[in-house]
Amino acid sequence: MEAPLIRFPTGPTVNRVSSVGFLNEVLIDYYRTVMQARDRGQLIAYVFDGFPTEILWAMNIVPVFPQKYSGMYVTQSARPGCSSGVDIFNFIEGQAGYSQDICASARASVAMALYNDELERFGNPLWSMPKPDLLISANNICDTVAMYAKEIVKRYDIPAFCLDTPYIFGDPDPNAIRYIVRQVRELIEFLETISGQRLDRDRLVEAWINSARATVFWSQTLDLAARRPSPTCGLDITNHLLPFIMLRGTEGAAHYYRTLKAEVEERVRTGVAALPNERHRILWDIDPVYHRINYFGQRLARYGAVVVGILYTYVTALELSTAPPASTDPDEVIEGLARVIYTFHLNRDLDNRLRLVAHMVKKFGVDAMVINTNRGCKACSGLLYEVNHAVRERHGIPVLTIDCDVLDPRFFSEGQIETRVDAFLETLD
């Protein structure tokens, strides 16, 4: 079967990293692994953002992220002749009766999970999401994820495990960490029962060390955007987040990020910039608009503006920094996994978000910020206007708020967005 070329658009004016070719190979390899899992006797587990896949890879269980499949689907569909991903939303609203007011992540993930066979797949079965053998969810992203995960469980009648993560007001609570450690141990027992195999604790430690290495290489790569001019555009580099989410714990992921870091370091050494005429350095909150990455890349480039950091991308590199350092003690590793789940960025309060923003503004020499409301995602957008005020008052930099949905392409009024983005960039000039 011919491997498809995965589209990672950023616009012709942005000088993207050439590791995108390697990324294509890594992801195709992952999708093949998913597709061939059953033939190899591997179980398939549906999981969601913020879940540490080290446990699964260590037990030879293949993780599948409905959110990532649907994000990829929307990005790949955003080209002439394709549906722009609208078919997912028409489908779930029409066939399953989901309201448009439910967040796009819920609608898209459920559509991909339950109706994948009926969606456009670009003629390639690699894009199919296989039926799951089990599902693991948590409420660290939000309660909606835990709820729509239940819908998938109900439809497939599969065993499921839901982790309960108390919201973090202020600093992480040691009692909550103990509570989640206990749940992770129960999760391991659950997986052992379903798979019929014991968790190999040495393999778990090995997976954890692979993750630690991948995290170091990934965070060092992202940090290089602090150089002037930036060697990378945040909209381009965010594509390279995917192995970190889906393949964390594998040696392949560690190798991938070592390679990526080397390429970006070489760019710094030889003076290659993402945007040669860089004039403005933009911080983007929170996700890129997946069906319009090309659009924003080009629009910003016209005014010499480059995205030097995206919050969603950057937080991934910080997660492991809250866990114990790379350890060979399986109990410490289990606590580390619990911390990764617990300290997922959406499980933390406004002050934490503002600290992160302050850190990025200073580190990356940001001179303007774009906040996307990500319409429909309460977890993302609830804090937005507070972030907007705080950034203006504390850092004295201008902020633009745009109103659209990162996944659902119907909630995007190009004329309105274009006017706002252009006017904002004109004020910077």
Partner 1 sequence: MLVAGIDVGSLSTDVVIMDAGCEVVGYAVVATGAHAQQAAQEGLAVALERAECRRDDIEMVVSTGYGRNIVNGAQRGVTEITCHAKGAHFLFPETGTVIDIGGQDSKVIRLKSGGRVADFAMNDKCAAGTGRFLEVMAQAMSVDLSEMGPRSLESKEFVQVSSLCTVFAESEVVSLIAQGRAIEDILNGLHHAIADRISSLVRRVGKGSTITMTGGVAKNIGVVAALEQKLEATFQIPKEPQIVGAIGAAIIALEHLECRDAGDRTGAAA
Interacting residues toward partner 1 by CB under 8 A: 398, 403, 413, 415-416, 419-420, 422-423, 426-427
Nearer to partner 1, 227 or 395 (CB): 395
Nearest-approach distance from CB 398 to partner 1, in angstroms: 7
**Strand, coil or helix: what is 397?**
coil
Nearest-approach distance from CB 427 to partner 1, in angstroms: 5
Q: Considering only CA atoms, which of 7, 5, 6, 9 is closest in space to residue 233? A: 9
Token readout for 213 is: 């290495």
Q: Considering only CA atoms, which of 302, 229, 327, 300 is closest in space to residue 271? A: 229
Q: Which amino acid is at 257?
A: Y
Nearest-approach distance from CB 349 to partner 1, in angstroms: 24
Nearest-approach distance from CB 392 to partner 1, in angstroms: 9
Q: Considering only CA atoms, which of 84, 53, 145, 156 is closest in space to residue 113? A: 156
Are the C-beta atoms of 257 and 17 separated by less than 8 Å?
Answer: no
Nearest-approach distance from CB 331 to partner 1, in angstroms: 51
* DSSP summary character for residue 179: H
- CA–CA separation, 303 and 426 (whole Å): 8
Nearer to partner 1, 82 or 397 (CB): 397
Nearer to partner 1, 143 or 414 (CB): 414
Nearest-approach distance from CB 12 to partner 1, in angstroms: 18
- CA–CA separation, 185 and 163 (whole Å): 11
Are the C-beta atoms of 206 and 254 separated by less than 8 Å?
Answer: no
Q: Considering only CA atoms, which of 71, 69, 72, 15 is closest in space to residue 297? A: 15
Are the C-beta atoms of 87 and 120 separated by less than 8 Å?
Answer: yes
Nearer to partner 1, 197 or 416 (CB): 416
Burial of 19 (0-12, 13-18, 19+ CB in 10 A): buried
Nearest-approach distance from CB 415 to partner 1, in angstroms: 5
Q: Considering only CA atoms, which of 191, 100, 192, 112 is closest in space to residue 152? A: 112
Are the C-beta atoms of 240 and 8 separated by less than 8 Å?
Answer: no
Nearest-approach distance from CB 400 to partner 1, in angstroms: 9
**Strand, coil or helix: what is 308?**
strand
Nearer to partner 1, 257 or 303 (CB): 303
- CA–CA separation, 334 and 42 (whole Å): 23
Nearest-approach distance from CB 281 to partner 1, in angstroms: 19
Nearer to partner 1, 287 or 405 (CB): 405
- Nearest-Å Rg of the Cα atoms of the chain is 21
Find the largest Cα–Cα distance for the chain.
63
Nearer to partner 1, 176 or 428 (CB): 428
Number of C-beta neighbours around residue 410 at 10 A: 15
**DSSP conformation letters of 344-360:** -GGGB-HHHHHHHHHHH
Nearer to partner 1, 80 or 415 (CB): 415
Nearer to partner 1, 192 or 422 (CB): 422
Nearer to partner 1, 101 or 426 (CB): 426
Nearest-approach distance from CB 303 to partner 1, in angstroms: 11
